[in-house]
Chain A
């Protein structure tokens, strides 16, 4: 187990280092002068030179890289040019809003995708399987903006069930006392149930938008993992012994399919964390994706670079957590089976 753990930690650290390098290179080496891009077409050469000096862009690349990596080790992601505040502050202040939305989206995706995937696998080839597959394809074929717009139109404009896309709480309502920064949770922790209720109502549509799209991926993964186990030897043996089909499904197949399902959940969660720039803009959700959108508008490469790095690190950390859970679920992995 220790060796497995160390190996995983090592691989994750290498990937993080590579990630930092790639993000750095993408922003610095690619054609296009960062300073010129930031100042726009009307900037005078002197202004551009001055900004280059201020950003350290006139230094040799290797010096820049050293500064950048040294800063990273101290949690310094540089200054956001558009706001003048440290990139790390800008982004981490918004992290709770993004996590709240991603977790809610993941719950929606699991609640919809998991049972449908099980159903489709257990009735493979029949009508309900075909319907579930069409649903999965539909879910992954809609542009997230469009799906969000449809939900806003149907459930807000027409039916008035959920509030409009104006952020996390009704305009003018003070947020609950800051503990985690996630309003639903903070409301519960401080006994401010009104805030929790409103936060949930405002969370519903963006979470549905993210979750419906992701549920398709969950459905597909659950279905194919369950089908793969259905064809394995242990299921055939259990069947031959006369174990009831339902019991095989829930006890043997599900447990063995959990590995793939877990991978799917890790991927989907990462996708929800990172792929929410669009949904956060659409619903005026003040998360990290919203910061990235603003950075895009103001050509703030430092901020975008920080955003990419944080998303990448979260993604790698998730994969690491999933790898560890593999070991918990499947003893064969932690007890020295070769892992590629």
Chain B
């Protein structure tokens, strides 16, 4: 084991800096924490998401906090059941994209040369699509299912991870600890993954929270177009799509509350990501 000593010290110095107050980080983390807890214990206390608990289109009341939809299902109960579906999708898309993107990015930056050129061209091509369109096309080509939805959304988000990690790896590989690892006989792939990668991953962490958010938004967008997650699944995007028509006829709550859940969740993720990124300079 050749533990890289220099960067370890660097992290230690960083943490000794006087701490700024970070209200956005606190708020964002608190919201996500609350959602995770509500998503875990909530389903034990609310109605079944498919149960017809009341006549259709009951406006919000003490009994039905978010009202009921056209079938008479409780929208609050459905929204609570949806928390974990949406969070799990967001996180799994981000995990997939980050693993593949960082693995490719660190190699591209560390190896450099031709390999790097080819990878960067590929990244350019991937980035020539708006992520949403790419995910839509991929999903239709590989077949509409939930695992494929996660894969399609993840592929659409790989490129920024590759770029971020590669950029950091490019500068990392010039540092002494990399030569030290090399001199001590560490093989190139080991150097790349054991030494350069851990020191190049931080920008990707910020992207991770943002991608969680984008994915939840994209799931909702795809659901509105009729692909990805389908009714009657209790998922926020599906619920917004189902309630869309009611907006014109006055039953605003059917789409409003699920959409609000999306907005709050994604906002919290953005708060966390923005604070982790630090103020731009």
A residues within 8 Å of B by Cβ? 11, 14-15, 18-19, 22-23, 26-27, 30-32, 37, 133, 137-138, 140-146, 149-150, 152-153, 156-157, 164-165, 223-224, 227-228, 231, 270-271, 274-275, 277-278, 281-282, 292-293, 296-297, 299, 301, 304-305, 307-308, 311-312, 315-316
Q: Provide the bound-state CA to CA distance between A149 and B221, in Å.
A: 13
Query: Are A293 and B132 closer than 8 Å at their CB atoms?
Result: no
Interfacial residues of chain B within 1-50, with CB under 8 A of chain A in the complex: 24
Contact (A14, B121) CB under 8 Å given A149-B255, A152-B248, A315-B128? yes
Query: Are B262 and A275 closer than 8 Å at their CB atoms?
Result: no
Q: Provide the bound-state CA to CA distance between A140 and B218, in Å.
A: 12
Query: Are B132 and A145 closer than 8 Å at their CB atoms?
Result: no
**Chain A positions within 8 Å of B241 at CB level:** 145
Encode contact with A along B234-262: 1 for CB under 8 Å, 0 otherwise: 00010011011001101010011001101
Contact (A311, B141) CB under 8 Å given A19-B125, A282-B244, A296-B225? no
Contact (A19, B263) CB under 8 Å given A152-B247, A157-B247? no
Encode contact with A along B135-150: 1 for CB under 8 Å, 0 otherwise: 0111011110000000
**Chain A positions within 8 Å of B259 at CB level:** 142-143, 145-146, 149-150
Contact (A275, B133) CB under 8 Å given A144-B221, A296-B225, A296-B226? yes
Query: Are B221 and A18 closer than 8 Å at their CB atoms?
Result: no
**Chain A positions within 8 Å of B137 at CB level:** 23, 26-27, 304-305, 308
**Chain A positions within 8 Å of B243 at CB level:** 149
Query: Are A18 and B263 closer than 8 Å at their CB atoms?
Result: no
B266 contacts the other chain (CB 8 A): yes
Closest to B137 in A: A308
Query: Are A146 and B262 closer than 8 Å at their CB atoms?
Result: yes
Contact sample, A vs B, 14 pairs, CB 8 Å cutoff: A30-B142, A133-B24, A138-B267, A142-B259, A143-B220, A149-B244, A149-B256, A270-B130, A275-B132, A277-B132, A292-B136, A296-B140, A301-B140, A304-B137
Q: Provide the bound-state CA to CA distance between A18 and B127, in Å.
A: 12
**Chain A positions within 8 Å of B122 at CB level:** 18
Closest to A152 in B: B247
The 8 lowest CB-CB distance pairs between A and B, nearest first, are A146-B259, A224-B280, A274-B130, A141-B266, A141-B267, A18-B125, A143-B220, A312-B128
Query: Are B129 and A308 closer than 8 Å at their CB atoms?
Result: yes
Q: Provide the bound-state CA to CA distance between A150 and B253, in Å.
A: 11
14 further A-B contacts with Cβ under 8 Å, apart from A144-B221, A152-B247, are: A141-B262, A142-B266, A145-B221, A145-B240, A149-B256, A157-B250, A224-B280, A228-B281, A231-B281, A275-B130, A282-B244, A311-B130, A315-B128, A316-B128
